[in-house]
């Protein structure tokens, strides 16, 4: 699985800690991590939590990433921004039990973490345990196990509803503020990571036109 990490400007200084912790946990599981930044508070390309949502949607809908780990100060803004787009099901995760139940019950493809609120002594341990529970085994297996069938049924219903209630991703990319979009895809390593992994030609072509 390709896992993307995205940090916004208020929490960019923690990017390396989050990245190293994520890699430590998931690479032995066979997953690959792509760090889309921000890499530090002084990065030329500044991301807001709204742009985190835009970038998350581009990566998920294009197939450039299978899963996105993002967040902001409280995690709430990034979660709301991600869920504003089709194809993205983002959970707000605070502790390892949140991670495990979101993975097993909701089977989402993105999480938003609080990187300021409660991020104190032992924060890196909490992150490590969250990532362990989030990516442990096959997602969507149900919790508790006797609830697996109705939970899987509800997930399929939600996926179908989202297809009806959202526009397609290319239309969204064309209609949102183009400078906001350009800012979201102007990170230092975006071109390298995205175009090497993008599976949707239409999304790829439009993003390429924005960056030219």
pLDDT in tens, 139-180: 999 999 999 999 999 999 999 999 999 999 999 999 999 999
pLDDT of residue 97: 98
Domain CATH for 199: 3.40.1400.10
pLDDT of residue 4: 98
**pLDDT digits over 18-77, tens only?**
999 999 999 999 999 999 999 999 999 999 999 999 999 999 999 999 999 999 999 999
CB burial string 43-58: b at 16+ within 10 A, e below: bebbbbbbbbbbbbbb
Number of domains the chain is built from: 1
Tell me the C-alpha distance between 18 and 123, whole Å.
Answer: 10
| pTM attached to this predicted model | 0.96
pLDDT of residue 9: 96
CA distances (Å), origin 21, targets 49, 68, 87, 134, 189? 21, 15, 27, 13, 20
Write out the two tokens for 34.
Answer: 């792509």
Order of strands across the sheet that contains 67-72: 32-35, 2-5, 67-72, 110-114, 90-92
pLDDT of residue 211: 95
**pLDDT digits over 123-137, tens only?**
999 999 999 999 999
Question: Residue 197: which pLDDT band, with cuts at 50, 70 and 90?
Answer: very high
Per DSSP, the residues of 1-37 read -EEEE---GGGGGGHHHHHHHHHHHHGGGT-EEEE--
Task: Give the domain extent around 169.
Answer: 2-211
The percentage of the chain sitting over the pLDDT mark of 90, rounded to a whole number, equals 99
With beta carbons less than 8 A apart as the criterion, state whether 36 and 184 touch: no
With beta carbons less than 8 A apart as the criterion, state whether 88 and 59 touch: no
Write out the two tokens for 165.
Answer: 């209630």
pLDDT of residue 44: 93
The alpha-helical segments, DSSP class H, found in 27-147 are 49-62, 76-82, 96-101, 123-134
Tell me the C-alpha distance between 88 and 82, whole Å.
Answer: 6
With beta carbons less than 8 A apart as the criterion, state whether 51 and 180 touch: yes
């Amino acid at each position: 699985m390709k896992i993307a990490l995205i940090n916004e400007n208020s929490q960019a200084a923690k990017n390396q800690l989050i990245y190293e912790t994520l890699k430590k946990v998931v690479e032995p599981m066979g997953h690959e991590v792509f760090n889309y930044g921000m890499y530090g508070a002084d990065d030329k390309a500044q991301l807001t939590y709204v742009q985190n949502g835009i970038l998350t949607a581009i990566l998920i809908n294009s197939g450039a990433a299978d899963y996105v780990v993002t967040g902001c100060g409280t995690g709430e803004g990034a979660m709301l921004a991600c869920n504003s787009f089709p194809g993205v099901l983002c959970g707000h995760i605070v502790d390892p039990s949140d991670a495990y139940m979101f993975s097993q019950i909701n089977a989402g493809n993105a999480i938003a973490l609080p990187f300021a609120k409660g991020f104190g002594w032992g924060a890196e341990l909490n992150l490590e345990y969250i990532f362990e529970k989030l990516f442990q085994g096959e997602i969507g297996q149900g919790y508790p196990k006797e609830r697996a069938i109705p939970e899987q049924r509800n997930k399929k219903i939600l996926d179908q509803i989202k297809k009806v209630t959202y526009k397609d991703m290319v239309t969204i990319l064309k209609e949102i503020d183009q400078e906001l979009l350009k800012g979201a895809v102007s990170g230092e390593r975006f071109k390298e990571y995205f175009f090497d992994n993008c599976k949707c030609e239409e999304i790829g072509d439009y993003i390429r036109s924005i960056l030219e």
